[in-house]
Each structure stands twice: as C-alpha cells, then as structure tokens.
Amino acid sequence: MAFYFEEPSRTFSEFLLVPGYSSADCVPTNVSLKTPIVKFKKGEESAITMNIPLVSAIMQAVSDDNMGIALATEGGVSFIFGSQSIESEAAMVSRVKNHKAGFVISDSNISPDKTLQDILDLKEKTGHSTVAVTEDGTAHGKLLGIVTSRDYRVTRMSPDEKVADFMTPFEKLVTANKSTTLKEANNIIWDHKLNALPLVDENEHLVHMVFRKDYDSNKENKLELLDSSKRYVVGAGINTRDYEERVPALVEAGADILCIDSSEGYSEWQKRTLDYIRAEYGDTVKVGAGNVVDRDGFRYLADAGADFVKVGVGGGSICITREQKGIGRGQATALIDVAKARDEYFEETGIYIPICSDGGIVYDYHMTLALAMGADFIMLGRYFSRFDESPTNKVNLNGTYMKEYWGEGANRARNWQRYDLGGDKKLSFEEGVDSYVPYAGSLKDNVAISLSKVRSTMCNCGALNIPELQQKAKITLVSSTSIVEGGAHDVVVKDASNNLIK
C-alpha cells in the first residue's frame, strides 16, 4: 500500500511567527545573520560561513558574474548557472574571483588614431566619461593617455580630430604601480584631486583603473564575503552528466563551492556525481546536492557525502512541475521535515549538514519563516531576477519596467540535464514558464530592506542569531480568515496624493 503522510503539505503563507520575549539588548543592530554553508563536525566551524543567509538561484535569468559580485559584496553567494558551456561558466566564475572591489578593468578604451566622434560614440555606449587611450585600444594595452570631458569641446573642435592630438598624454598623467593597495590609490586620488587613477605594470600597460566615486561605496561593504586571498566567494552549478569535464574546469577557475542542480535529488545520479568528486578531490571540493523534500531524500544525500542539502520540489515561482507531473511537496512542510532529519543526523553522527530552502519565497517575512523552520540559508530566483544585476533584459511594458525571468525547465533555457532522468537530450515537456517580474532596482538596496525586516522580526522572537531563532521561534498555522485580517482591511486605502487605491 502506498505511504500516506499524516500532515497536509503546507506553504510559508500558511504560517506566522508568534512574538517571544525580547530583552533590551535584542535590537536589530545586534543581530548576526552569519550562517554555515558546508558541513562541519560538532565543535568545529564550517569551512565557509556566509554573512547573510541568501544565495542566488542556479538559473540563466539570475546568476551570472555580475550577480556573483553584487551578492558577495553584500555577504551572500551566487551559484553561477550551469546550463551553459563549460568554458563560459568557468569564465564567469573566474571573473568573480578576479574582481577586486574598487579596481576596475577599464571598459572604455580607444587607440590614439581614432577620432573625437569615436570618443563620443564610446561615451554614448558605455555611459562613462573617462576613456583610456592605449596603443591597441584594449583594456590592457600600453597606456598612452586619458581622455575626459575636460580634454575636448564639441562646439569648438572637428569630430575628425585625432585622439592623439587632444588626449592628456601619459607623461602628464598621475599613474601608480599595479600593486598599489586601494587605500594607497585613494590617498593618491585625494592628494592630486583626481577623478581616476590608472594602475600600470612595469611596461606601462594598463591593469586597472581606480575611480574616486567608487571609494565611498567600497568602504561601506562591511559584510562582503571574501576567501583567504581576499577574493569574492562564488559558487557554481553542475549537473549529473558532464561532471568529469565541468568540475575540473570550475575548480581551476576558482569556484569555492559547487552544487548539483537537479529537480530531483534523491537519485543514483547524484551519488555517482558525489562519488566522482570525493574520489578525485577528497573533501577539498565542497559540493551541495538536491533537491529533496523529505527525510529519506536527506539521509540518502547525507550518506552520499553532500556538503549541504537543498530542499524544494515544485515551489518555485516559475515552476509548473506539480501541475505537469503531480510531484512535489509544500515548501514549508518539506523544510520542517528535512530540518528534523538534519538535526537527527547531527545527534547521531556529530556532523552538521546545512540545509538550503530553495524556491517559493514571495514576501520578505517568508525568509524569516524559512530560517525559523530550520533553513540554514535560502536560495532565491524571482527575488534576485528583479534587480539591476540580473542578466536579463529590462523592458518597458505600458509604462511599467519589468525584467524577464524564465525557469530552467522552460524551453527557453534548454537545460535538459536538470530534468533528464537518463533519457533523450531534450525536454519532452516543459516544467517551467517564461515570465516577467516587476523591476525593483539595485540588489544592495533591496537586500538591505529585506534583511532589516528579518533582523527586526528576529528581535521580536528574542533571537540575536539564526540558531537562536530556530530554537526560540514559536510558529502558528493561520486560518484563511486570519490571513485577511493580516492585511489592511475594512478601510479604503489612499496614496500620497489622496487618490483611492483600487
């Protein structure tokens, strides 16, 4: 006879947190959101600890190198999408690893034989007014000069004038050696009242630019997540097919952590992938596995050697797996069950395997609920896809800005590895949709607001860190009428201009 779960399968929106006692020191500025991402033994620390409990989804529409840099700057980790060629995924990883905050690879470069018109065209394209003049017009060519808007007057000069004739030449520039630290570079910028400082190597080839305007923003990133060589931490998605080629390339590119990206994690394919990684790299390569939704799935991946386990089937915003296949489990129920299994495993073995709640976060308070229900960290797709840093197009639809967002199981992603169970190299039916999400601005601003809500709710529960929240949280189911009570009700809401909001 089939097995029946006793509890219905529930989602985050069916729960609320009940306030607990909060002492006077329980204020948001005292809250730490640090959290482990890979397994560790009792009494030891995780080899990678994030400063905020958020990771971005392994999706084409979400996690590229830009997202990787932006999220690591705030203290989280992006998992670069795996549904691309091995070379381009490794190149994205390496761009995150080689990005040095404040040190910019010049994107506006020109050779001296070009004209004022070319400078104007370049400015239009990049939006940047400082142009490096290099011998071959590349970002790392021999530096011959700089052009800024102070070097030309469009009204007084011919568009055909040669760059060499009006640039500020190398001899007159203040430059610094490529090994200059950010602090030193900023002192030079300050002393010489510069807007930009080129850093060059011993052959006068341009290496980086440091811009005055970036200094303040670089000083602010107290939570940025760096490895032992002060490079950003980044993750990368792998699949259960081409791991023998993909894993070495990603490791070589500097990925700090990998994750098997699959809609179904409770499978022999995942074990084979983990076995390969352990045989080749021992414990030096960190790798998460998933997705699972119950105790059995967790135990299987824990025993197979996963460094973390990802939870969730069918709860993603773009996901139609449950409709198409009738498979999955309400995200809250799945998480609560797997969190119990993780704690049980820890009791038995002394090994703590972090779990990641993947998908289905709609409101900011869902983040707090997921953490309270036992998630060590949370993976989000839709949330991050709305920001400037996501790789997709921003489009204006009837006056509203939207970003594109599509599932890895939509035909558009062509990600057959994620859904394939050993069959054809094509999707026989879709498990995801192609969609728009409302554009929401910068990652930094949005993450700051979301996490300030999380910290504030944690204080209401009397918790100053995530483990404390998991211990102290009191969680209640809500009835459908009490959900209505939770929003503005029985009033007619108006906006700042006193117009009624329909």
Residue of 319, 356, 459, 461 with catalytic role = 319
H helical segments located in 9-155:
65-74, 86-98, 116-126
Q: Of the two residues 76 and 381, which places its CB atom closer to ligand IMP in the complex?
A: 381
Shortest Å distance, C-beta 63 to ligand IMP: 9
Residues 285-304, one symbol each (x = binds ligand IMP by CB under 6 A, - = not), give: --------------------
3-class SS at 5?
A: coil
Rounded CA-CA distance 225/76 in Å is: 7
Decide if residue 95 touches ligand IMP (CB under 6 A).
no
State which residue, 198 or 314, has the beta carbon closest to ligand IMP.
314
Question: Could you say whether residue 264 binds ligand IMP (CB under 6 A)?
Answer: no
Residue 337: CB minimum distance to ligand IMP, A: 17
Q: How far from 15 is each of 7, 334, 370, 420, CA to CA, in Å?
A: 14, 14, 10, 34
The minimum distance between CB 480 and ligand IMP, in angstroms, equals 22
Annotated binding-site residue numbers for K(+): 314, 316, 319
Minimum CB separation of residue 291 from ligand IMP in Å reads 6
Neighbours of 151 (CB within 10 A): 17
Q: Residue 487, class by beta-carbon neighbours within 10 Å (0-12 exposed, 13-18 middle, 19+ buried)?
A: exposed
Q: Tell me the binding residues for NAD(+).
A: 261-263, 312-314
Interface with ligand IMP (CB under 6 A), residue total: 23
Our CB check for ligand IMP shows the closer of 102 and 360 to be 360
Residue 270 binds to ligand IMP (criterion: CB under 6 A): no
455 in active site: no
Question: For residue 265, how many C-alpha atoms fall within 13 Å in the half-sphere facing its CB?
Answer: 32
Q: Does 408 bind ligand IMP (CB under 6 A)?
A: yes
The stretch near ligand IMP (CB under 6 A) out of 70-78, 190-198, 407-415, 493-501 is 407-415
Q: Verify binding: residue 76, ligand IMP, rule CB under 6 A.
A: no
Task: Single out the residue of 297, 220, 305 nearest to residue 262, CA to CA.
Answer: 297
Q: Shortest gap between Cβ of 263 and ligand IMP (angstroms)?
A: 6
For residue 319, indicate whether it is catalytic: yes
Continuous segment of H or E residues that includes residue 187: helix 182-191
Q: Which is nearer to ligand IMP, 371 or 380 (CB)?
A: 380
Q: Which is nearer to ligand IMP, 118 or 264 (CB)?
A: 264
Phi, psi of 423, deg, nearest 5: -100, -135
Identify the residue among 80, 319, 370, 443 touching ligand IMP (CB under 6 A).
319
Which range of residues in 296-304, 318-326, 335-343, 389-397 is near ligand IMP by CB under 6 A?
318-326
Of 200 and 257, the one with the shorter C-beta distance to ligand IMP is: 257
Which range binds ligand IMP by CB under 6 A, 235-243, 264-272, 281-289, 405-413?
405-413
Omega within 30 of 0 (cis) for the link into 187: no
The rounded distance, in Å, linking the Cα atoms of 231 and 97 is: 6
How distant is the alpha carbon of residue 329 from its chain centre? 25
How far CA 279 is from CA of 252, 255, 259, 393, in Å, comes to: 17, 18, 17, 41
Footprint (CB under 6 A) of ligand IMP, residues 31-70: 57, 59
Vertex 201: Cα angle to 225 and 214 (nearest 5): 40
Q: Map the footprint of ligand IMP across residues 424-443, applying CB under 6 A.
A: 431-432
Which CB, 118 or 408, lies closer to ligand IMP? 408
* CA dist list (Å): 470 to 35, 52, 53, 105, 183: 12, 16, 14, 43, 40
Q: Using H for helix, E for strand and C for coil, what is the string for 224-245?
A: CCECCCCCECCEEEECCCCHHH
Which x/- pattern over 350-389 shows residues binding ligand IMP (rule: CB under 6 A)?
Answer: --------xxxx-----------------xxxxx------
Angle (nearest 5°) at CA 316 between 310 and 321: 95
CA distance 363 to 359: 12
DSSP classification of residue 115: B
CB of 92 to ligand IMP, least distance (A): 17
Q: Which of 299, 382, 386, 418 is labelled catalytic? A: 418
Name the minimum Å distance from CB 403 to ligand IMP.
12
Chain positions contacting ligand IMP, by CB under 6 A: 57, 59, 312, 316-319, 321, 358-361, 379-383, 407-410, 431-432
Q: Which residues are catalytic?
A: 319, 418
